[in-house]
């Protein structure tokens, strides 16, 4: 279908905004209508997404497809250039999946202060931002979408968050904005340094090669991007916004934050930073790897010290994203593939964990680990699901988490030629040790929350019930995917592989040619 | 290479992959609809494992044929050597055929696809040079070859089947099935033990509130282990290895309401995770060293050919040994195994006999090409594997002495016996190790189930407090227990005798300078200790006065025995209470013999403990009269023959060939005597009350030794108290502190600094300075005016004076400057 | 004219100048002050002439002539002011003349 070929992506990206516009027509107290509109909008978006994927030629997943290239801001030669390839497809799919699930979960889980209209509208705006980031092929467009995401999230945390919401929201916002500022500086530097005066990603990659920018300059420019993306990931030591944001955000916010928002950073590395600045990437790789493994161990140790369940899960993100970054830092196709898989897996698993944390909070009105216990007795199904997710999160083979972790560790044994092998092998061992810690904090969490008998405080609490319908609707797809991807990881690998091989070979070629 | 036309694997071999799938389906089914079936949920699992058991028997029978056929084919080929040339064509196991159902990989011409056989790498077949494909070497041609010389160098190609699993970096990786002798053997062992455990459990955990979950996980456990033994590549191996670990986690922690149980589960899992670091690292090293392949056969083949650097092999071996240490309960990572006794007894039987702990042994056996060449097992007289095994033999046996919990005695006994297996692998007696695994599975399962039967009657595991004189109450259990103990001790002609003897013979005869003497001694001491502690265990449990039966034992481990004679209603809300009560059941009067569902498995296992040893009766030495068709059948059928296993005839990269030990009457008698001495000493001590009883009270040294043993060499203190607590406590807190105060402090500091800076800028710079400048310019103008008007005296002379002074000053300046 | 002579002229100029300055600053009588100013101007004139003679040019003398002319005008204006002051206040005491005080 030509329409899909030409306008499918655009329709997909902006469909949620149509929903928002519709919602504006109805008064605030028409809650059911708002829910319905939001749900339909997200489902329509997903539907268009499916049509897009049907149109997408998976045999050619290495090349950009469904390209749309229009003039946009002529003055700075920024273009409305969107397209997808094997790298973006899994992440778009993840986004398309998560948003409807979050809306379904919201059905009867609106955080205080209620106001579904605003809440759902923000989710939809967020949706557009996330999808846009994954399809953009122009740096300015990318940047705009990247920033569009910030504001809804800021309001979600700041309005619907926990007691410390103001602090967390501002921290989140400023942190990310700080990174963005450096990032846009880097983009501008590229714009001028190459002399090509273009923001097109594909174009820039070639221009940088042609322009023969000095290595030192590349390293500096990469540094700017590193800050922008690294904060978003978040990498140690720029991670401290994450636990606060997660802990304070409403469940839906945490889920979206963990499932998709963090991936914007890692996606940015693979999509923007590495291909455009291969030499910078090579110079930075050992340091990125170092920060990644520090993050792995550090995040895990941080988890062990947490007393709040949600904060613990948030900290575990630091460790998990460490594996993703370790994969990226090897600059090999193996590692990058692992990173993409790790993103998807982390999105599913940690998203799921935050859902559960939200539901526990709703029932127990606390997430303090000490006070919980015996979940398996009071809500056995939820306890099982929590067990399943902790297992997945600790990287159990056969579940999705493993396929992000194992190949990443594997790839560190043999990083790209030119990178210090011994250093990376050390990273490999440290990362492997990290798996023990992961098992440690997750199982310990599970033991303290699910095992044992309920504490006296909650023993006869009527409010504590097992999983209910909206929760099932939201969770089952995630749980199923965690299992399916774990058993048959090729579903993701075969899509990403071609694009990733392209990226890796271009880096290797560029570094080989330059150095 | 084989002449493929004549060698076809039968149905059961070709389709063995369904076995784990059946069990996995059983898991899903039990979990899904089990609740509705109530007590009948167990039938799903029993039916499934029953089918699998039949399947395994079929596979074993067909495997025997298959080996036979391979042998004949090789013979035929030897007769017609012209064939030999064509055979080198076989594809490599990872031949890049697309599509999901790459069935078999060695596609020799004219071969029916249906019966395609996986072949090892094309370079490995001895037929490549057309010389060594001899069907039958002259009997016992060389000392090193020992008795194995009777079975000549022909190849039994494993049955393989692969599917595309995942792809990365443009390379496709496969999942699949690898079926060879050891796999087939393990299929039999696992399905049999699992079946018996299933049956046993229907009585033992009857009335448990999580009856269905229990059986579901039993199924999954079996599925994982069955999948593990037929893993075709190392990623699959890791996957199922971990899955086995998870199942053991779930089953050890089955009664998770009590913290000690969940602690034990956590400990088991985490300890295994520690070992898994080694597994991951080792496997990754192998992956790259073998040129980016996960294929087990290929890795082993390359290792045997010397195509992998020795350094890589050493690193990989050492790393993998760490994994074995955790999984198979080897010193110093054995501490989880006794704690794992917190799980239901049948699970312990399953873990100790057929699944979990055996996985480590199996992994070494599976990757033997790596270990053999990495540790130069054939050419040294001491290596890490053997040392770990030897340490474990003694360490485990020592701890078994001081336990009062019958299951813990058995647990440490398992530790010690696993040490034997690892040691056997370490000295190069591969077959002996697997043979011991085989026999040990039966008698140890028998012992555990026997202990379960006893505890079923007395609702306790404490030998000293609640047992004694059980012989009177439970004669059938007693006799089966006694037979299994005999097998464990190694009394002729029970199963353990043959396998342990083969290990000792291996230690005496194999190795670089002709023997692993140190390990022969270790093995013998271990045999003595085994005999002694098992005699003690028998005495405490079955002889003497019955000490149990008192009304309430507050510290009894009732939580671990949760069943009663009656069915307890499964009450979801008060499950914990129900559980506690279940433990006490209607516990009145004298203990009595268990029912048939418990006894029948015991009979079967005791029977196997008697006969299993004859599977590998040697035919050398004084036993040379044993007919060839009966002797060494285990070795004949189950030892891999092919390029992926150390060769019997061709020296590998280390310059040594693989060899089999021969039967040595001296060692056989010696080990028997040692065992009898052990029994005798223990008998004298416990039954007759001879010896310095109470020495631990009188002698400081003895007391210290006893305490050292009682505290399990303080390993638990180190791990739990120091390492785990350290990470959980101070270190984690320090990191958190650093995060909150350090990093976040910086961030908050930056924030506060920014706010403070803003305030400063506003207050000081904006309000005071900038605004001050604006205001100040006004003020200054006015003030300046006020000031200067002072000078405006109106007196001309004053002006003139100022003028003059000023000009003097300027003049002065002018002069100085110029 | 040699250096020695120049020095003497300059010395004379300096003395006259100092005397003039003294008169301007110290004398109460406006007429005396005017005279003192004349002294200062003439001190300068001496210097100008002396330098002119020393350098062998007439520029100094020309300057001196200008100064004399200006001084004459100045004295004229000055005396006129003094006269007016005297008429208004009946005094030429400069201390009392402070209308310009700001």
Q: In 3D, which of A12, A155, A31, A135 has the Cα closest to residue A85? A: A135
A490 closest CB neighbour out of B166, B263, B733: B166
pLDDT band (50, 70, 90) for residue B552: very low
Q: Which residue has better confidence, C70 or B258?
A: C70
Question: CA geometry: angle at A331 spanning A328 and A332, to 5°?
Answer: 105
Determine, for residues B727 and A304 on separate chains, whether the beta-carbon distance falls below 8 Å.
yes
**Chosen from B27, B163, B168 to mutate, greatest number of chain A CBs within 10 A:** B168
Q: Are B334 and B396 in contact (CB under 8 A)?
A: yes
Q: Which residue in chain B is spatially nearest to A388 when comparing CA positions?
A: B246
Chain B residues with CB-CB distance to A432 below 8 A: 276-277, 280-281
Residues above pLDDT 90, as percent of chain B: 0
pLDDT band (50, 70, 90) for residue B639: confident
Determine, for residues A444 and B728 on separate chains, whether the beta-carbon distance falls below 8 Å.
yes
B795 closest CB neighbour out of C21, C24, C95: C95
Determine, for residues B795 and C97 on separate chains, whether the beta-carbon distance falls below 8 Å.
yes
According to DSSP H, which parts of B15-130 are helical?
18-37, 41-79
Q: Which residue has better confidence, B280 or B145?
A: B280
Q: Do chains C and A touch (3 or more CB pairs under 8 A)?
A: no
According to DSSP H, which parts of B377-474 are helical?
384-400, 406-427, 430-458, 463-466, 470-473
Per-residue pLDDT tens over the stretch A118-150:
899 999 999 999 999 999 998 899 999 988 888
Mark which residues 40-79 of B lie under 8 Å from C by CB.
Answer: none
- Average pLDDT on B490-505 reads 82
Rounded to the nearest angstrom, the minimum Cα separation between B654 and chain A is 26
Tokens at residue B276, please? Answer: 């898994």
Chain A residues with CB-CB distance to B168 below 8 A: 333-334, 337-338, 407, 493, 497
Q: What is the pLDDT of residue B585?
A: 42
Highest mean pLDDT pick, B421-435, B617-631, B697-711:
B421-435
Cross-strand bridge partners of residue A308 = A368
Exposure string of B577-610, with b = 16+ CB inside 10 Å and e = fewer, is ebbbebbbbebeeebebbeeebbebbebbbebbb
Determine, for residues A452 and B280 on separate chains, whether the beta-carbon distance falls below 8 Å.
no
- Average pLDDT on B271-290 reads 87
Q: In 3D, which of A446, A198, A495, A427 has the Cα closest to residue A316? A: A446
Q: What is the pLDDT of residue B100?
A: 38
- Average pLDDT on B448-466 reads 78
Name the average pLDDT for chain B: 75
C99 closest CB neighbour out of B794, B800, B801: B794
- Average pLDDT on B647-661 reads 73
Chain B residues with CB-CB distance to A403 below 8 A: 166
Chain B residues with CB-CB distance to A337 below 8 A: 168-169
How far apart CA B78 and CA B98 sit, in angstroms, is 35
Q: What is the pLDDT of residue B744?
A: 75
Task: Tell me which residues of chain A have a pLDDT lower than 50.
Answer: 515
Is pTM beyond 0.80? Reply is: no
Question: CA geometry: angle at B662 spanning B656 and B666, to 5°?
Answer: 125
Per-residue pLDDT tens over the stretch B772-792:
788 888 888 888 888 877 777
A490 closest CB neighbour out of B167, B235, B240: B167
Q: How many H-runs (helices) and E-runs (strands) does chain B carry?
A: 33, 2
Per-residue pLDDT tens over the stretch B26-79:
888 888 887 777 777 788 888 888 888 888 888 888 888 888 887 777 777 666
B792 closest CB neighbour out of C25, C94, C102: C102
A175 at B interface, C-beta within 8 A: yes
- Average pLDDT on B316-331 reads 86
Return the number of CB contacts < 8 Å for A and B. Answer: 152
pLDDT band (50, 70, 90) for residue B697: low
Q: What is the CA radius of gyration of chain A?
A: 22
Tokens at residue C92, please? Answer: 């030429």
B800 closest CB neighbour out of C25, C95, C102: C25
Determine, for residues A302 and B735 on separate chains, whether the beta-carbon distance falls below 8 Å.
yes
Q: What is the pLDDT of residue B93?
A: 40
Name the average pLDDT for chain A: 87
Q: In 3D, which of B93, B125, B20, B157 has the Cα closest to residue B294? A: B93
Q: Say if residue B619's pLDDT is above 50.
A: yes
How far apart CA B131 and CA B818 sit, in angstroms, is 111
Question: First and final CA of chain C: distance in angstroms?
Answer: 50
Residues above pLDDT 90, as percent of chain A: 18
Q: Say if residue B615's pLDDT is above 50.
A: yes
Which of the residue ranges B251-255, B440-444, C48-52 would you say has the lowest mean pLDDT? Answer: B251-255
Q: What is the pLDDT of residue A48?
A: 92
pLDDT band (50, 70, 90) for residue B695: low
- Average pLDDT on B378-392 reads 82
Q: Does this complex have an ipTM over 0.90?
A: no
Element (H, E) at A5: helix A2-24
Q: In 3D, which of A339, A352, A309 has the Cα closest to residue A235? A: A339
pLDDT band (50, 70, 90) for residue B98: very low
Tokens at residue B148, please? Answer: 């194995």
Q: Say if residue B103's pLDDT is above 70.
A: no
Q: Which residues contact A289 (CB under 8 A, 6 or more apart)?
A: A325, A326, A329, A330, A412, A415, A423, A424, A427
Chain B residues with CB-CB distance to A296 below 8 A: none
Q: What is the pLDDT of residue B558?
A: 40
How far apart CA A269 and CA A5 sit, in angstroms, is 27
Q: What is the pLDDT of residue A91?
A: 92
Q: In 3D, which of A130, A223, A136, A229 has the Cα closest to residue A176? A: A229
Q: Say if residue B132's pLDDT is above 50.
A: no
B806 at C interface, C-beta within 8 A: no
pLDDT band (50, 70, 90) for residue B563: very low
């Amino acid at each position: 279908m030509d329409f899909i070929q030409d306008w499918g992506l655009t329709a997909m990206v902006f469909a949620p905004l149509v929903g928002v516009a519709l919602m504006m027509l109805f008064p605030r107290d028409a809650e059911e209508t708002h829910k319905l509109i939001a749900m339909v909008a997200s489902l329509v978006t997903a539907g268009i997404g499916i049509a897009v994927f049907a149109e997408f030629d998976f045999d050619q997943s290495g090349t950009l497809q469904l390209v749309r290239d229009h003039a946009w801001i002529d003055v700075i030669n920024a273009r409305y250039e969107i397209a997808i390839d094997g790298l973006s497809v899994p992440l778009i799919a993840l986004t398309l999946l998560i948003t409807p699930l979050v809306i379904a979960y919201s059905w009867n889980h609106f955080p205080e202060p209620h106001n579904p209209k605003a809440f759902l509208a923000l989710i939809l705006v967020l949706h557009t931002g996330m999808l846009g980031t994954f399809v953009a092929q122009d740096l300015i467009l990318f940047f705009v979408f990247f920033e569009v995401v910030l504001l809804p999230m800021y309001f979600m945390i700041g309005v619907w968050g926990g007691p410390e919401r103001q602090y967390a929201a501002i921290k989140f916002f400023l942190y990310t904005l700080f990174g963005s500022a450096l990032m846009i500086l880097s983009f501008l530097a590229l714009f001028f340094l190459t002399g090509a005066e273009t923001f097109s990603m594909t174009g820039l990659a070639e221009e940088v090669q042609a322009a023969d920018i000095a290595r030192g300059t590349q390293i500096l420019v990469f540094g700017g991007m590193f800050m922008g993306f690294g904060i978003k990931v978040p990498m140690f030591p720029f991670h401290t916004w994450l636990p606060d944001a997660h802990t304070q955000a409403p469940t839906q916010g945490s889920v979206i934050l963990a499932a998709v928002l963090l991936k914007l950073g890692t996606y940015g590395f693979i999509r923007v930073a590495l291909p455009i600045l291969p030499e910078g990437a090579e110079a930075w790789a050992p340091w990125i790897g170092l920060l990644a493994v520090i993050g792995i161990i550090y995040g895990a140790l941080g988890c062990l010290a947490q007393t709040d369940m949600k904060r613990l899960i948030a900290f575990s993100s630091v460790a998990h994203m460490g594996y993703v970054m370790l994969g990226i830092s090897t600059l090999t196709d193996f590692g990058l593939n692992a990173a993409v898989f790790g993103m998807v897996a982390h999105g599913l698993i940690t998203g799921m964990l935050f859902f559960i944390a939200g539901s526990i909070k709703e029932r127990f009105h606390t997430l303090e680990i000490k006070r919980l216990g015996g979940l398996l007795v009071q809500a056995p199904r939820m306890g099982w699901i929590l067990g399943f997710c902790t297992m997945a999160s600790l990287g159990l083979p056969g579940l999705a988490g493993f396929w992000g972790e194992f190949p990443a560790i594997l790839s560190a044994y043999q990083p790209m030629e030119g990178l210090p092998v011994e250093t990376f092998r050390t990273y490999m061992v440290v990362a492997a040790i990290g798996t023990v810690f992961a098992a440690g904090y997750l199982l310990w969490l599970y033991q303290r929350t699910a095992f044992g008998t309920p504490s006296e405080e909650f023993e006869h609490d009527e409010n504590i019930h097992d999983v209910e319908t909206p929760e099932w609707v939201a969770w089952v797809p995630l749980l199923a995917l965690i299992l399916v991807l774990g058993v048959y990881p090729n579903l993701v690998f075969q899509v990403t592989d071609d694009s990733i091989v392209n990226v890796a070979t271009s880096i290797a070629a560029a570094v080989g040619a330059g150095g | 290479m084989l002449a493929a036309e004549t060698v076809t694997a039968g149905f059961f071999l070709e389709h063995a992959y369904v076995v784990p799938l059946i069990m996995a389906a059983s898991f899903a089914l039990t979990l899904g609809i089990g609740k509705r079936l109530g007590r009948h949920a167990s039938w799903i699992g029993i039916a499934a494992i029953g089918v699998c058991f039949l399947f395994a028997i079929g596979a074993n029978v067909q495997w025997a044929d298959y080996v036979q056929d391979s042998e004949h084919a090789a013979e035929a080929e030897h007769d017609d050597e012209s064939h030999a040339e064509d055979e080198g064509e076989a594809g490599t196991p990872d031949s890049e055929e697309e599509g999901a159902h790459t069935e078999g990989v060695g596609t020799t011409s004219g071969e029916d696809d249906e019966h395609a056989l996986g072949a090892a790498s094309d370079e490995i077949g001895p037929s490549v040079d057309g010389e060594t494909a001899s069907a039958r070497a002259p009997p016992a041609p060389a000392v090193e070859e020992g008795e194995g010389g009777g079975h000549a160098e022909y190849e039994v190609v494993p049955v393989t089947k692969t599917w595309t699993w995942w792809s990365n970096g443009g390379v496709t990786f496969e999942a699949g099935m690898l079926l060879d002798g050891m796999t087939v053997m393990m299929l039999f062992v696992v399905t049999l033990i699992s079946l018996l455990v299933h049956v046993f459990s229907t009585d033992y955990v009857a009335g448990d509130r999580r009856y269905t979950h229990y059986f579901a996980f039993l199924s999954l456990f079996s599925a994982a282990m069955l999948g593990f033994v037929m893993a075709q590549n190392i990623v699959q191996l890791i996957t199922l290895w971990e899955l086995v670990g998870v199942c053991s986690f779930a089953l050890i922690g089955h009664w998770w309401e009590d913290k000690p149980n969940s602690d034990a589960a956590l400990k088991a899992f985490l300890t295994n995770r520690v070992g898994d670091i080694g597994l991951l690292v080792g496997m990754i090293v192998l992956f790259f060293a073998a040129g980016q392949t996960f294929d087990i056969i290929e890795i082993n083949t390359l290792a045997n050919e010397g195509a992998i650097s020795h350094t890589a092999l050493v690193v990989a071996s050492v790393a993998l040994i760490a994994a074995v240490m955790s999984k198979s309960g080897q010193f110093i990572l054995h501490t989880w195994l006794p704690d794992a006794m917190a799980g239901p007894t049948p699970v312990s039987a399953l873990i100790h006999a057929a699944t979990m702990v055996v996985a480590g042994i199996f992994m070494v056996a599976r990757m033997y090409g790596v270990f053999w060449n990495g540790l130069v097992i054939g050419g040294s007289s001491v290596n890490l594997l053997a040392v770990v095994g030897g340490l474990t033999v003694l360490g485990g046996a020592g701890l078994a002495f001081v336990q009062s919990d019958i299951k813990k005695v058995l647990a440490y006994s398992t530790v010690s016996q696993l040490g034997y297996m690892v040691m056997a692998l370490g000295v190069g007696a591969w077959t002996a190790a697997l043979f011991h695994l085989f026999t040990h599975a039966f008698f140890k399962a028998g012992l555990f189930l026997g202990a379960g039967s006893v505890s079923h009657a007395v609702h306790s595991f404490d030998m000293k407090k609640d047992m004694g004189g059980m012989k009177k109450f439970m004669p059938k259990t007693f006799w089966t227990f006694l037979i299994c103990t005999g097998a464990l001790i190694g009394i002729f002609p029970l199963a353990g005798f043959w396998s342990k003897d083969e290990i000792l013979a291996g230690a005496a005869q194999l190795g670089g300078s002709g023997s692993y003497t140190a390990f022969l001694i270790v093995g013998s001491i271990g045999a003595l200790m085994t005999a002694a502690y098992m005699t003690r265990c028998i005495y405490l449990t079955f002889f003497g006065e019955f000490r149990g039966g008192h009304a309430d034992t507050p510290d009894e481990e009732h939580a671990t025995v949760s069943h009663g004679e009656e069915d307890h209603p499964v009450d979801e809300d008060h499950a914990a209470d129900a559980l506690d009560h279940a433990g006490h059941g209607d516990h009145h009067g004298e203990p009595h013999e268990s029912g048939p569902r418990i006894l029948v498995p015991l009979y079967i296992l005791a029977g196997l403990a008697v006969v299993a040893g004859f599977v590998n009766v040697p035919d050398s030495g004084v036993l040379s009269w044993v007919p060839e068709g009966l002797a060494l059948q285990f070795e004949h059928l189950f030892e891999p023959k092919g390029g992926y296993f150390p060769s019997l005839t061709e020296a590998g990269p280390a310059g040594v060939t693989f060899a089999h030990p021969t039967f040595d009457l001296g060692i056989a008698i010696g080990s028997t005597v040692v065992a009898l001495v052990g029994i005798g000493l223990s008998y004298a001590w416990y039954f007759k009350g001879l010896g310095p009883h109470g020495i631990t009270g009188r002698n400081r040294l003895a007391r210290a030794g006893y305490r050292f043993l009682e505290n399990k060499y303080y390993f638990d203190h180190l791990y739990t108290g120091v390492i785990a607590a350290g990470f959980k406590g101070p270190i984690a807190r320090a990191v958190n502190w650093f995060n909150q105060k350090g990093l976040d402090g910086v961030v908050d500091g930056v924030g506060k600094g920014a706010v403070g800076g803003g305030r400063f800028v506003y207050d000081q710079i904006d309000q005071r300075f900038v605004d001050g400048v604006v205001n100040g310019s006004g003020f200054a103008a006015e003030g300046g005016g006020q000031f200067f008007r002072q000078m405006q005296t109106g007196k001309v002379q004053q002006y003139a004076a100022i003028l003059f002074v000023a000009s003097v000053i300027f003049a002065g300046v002018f002069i100085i400057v110029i | 004219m040699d250096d020695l002579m120049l020095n003497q002229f300059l010395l004379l100029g300096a003395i006259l100048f100092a005397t003039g300055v003294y008169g301007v600053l110290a004398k109460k009588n406006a007429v005396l002050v005017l005279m003192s100013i004349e002294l200062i101007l003439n001190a300068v004139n001496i210097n100008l002439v002396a330098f002119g003679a020393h350098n062998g040019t007439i520029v100094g003398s020309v300057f001196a002539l200008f100064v004399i002319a200006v001084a004459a005008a100045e004295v004229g204006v000055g005396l006129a002011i003094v006269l007016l002051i005297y008429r208004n206040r009946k005094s030429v005491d400069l201390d009392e003349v402070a209308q310009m005080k700001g």
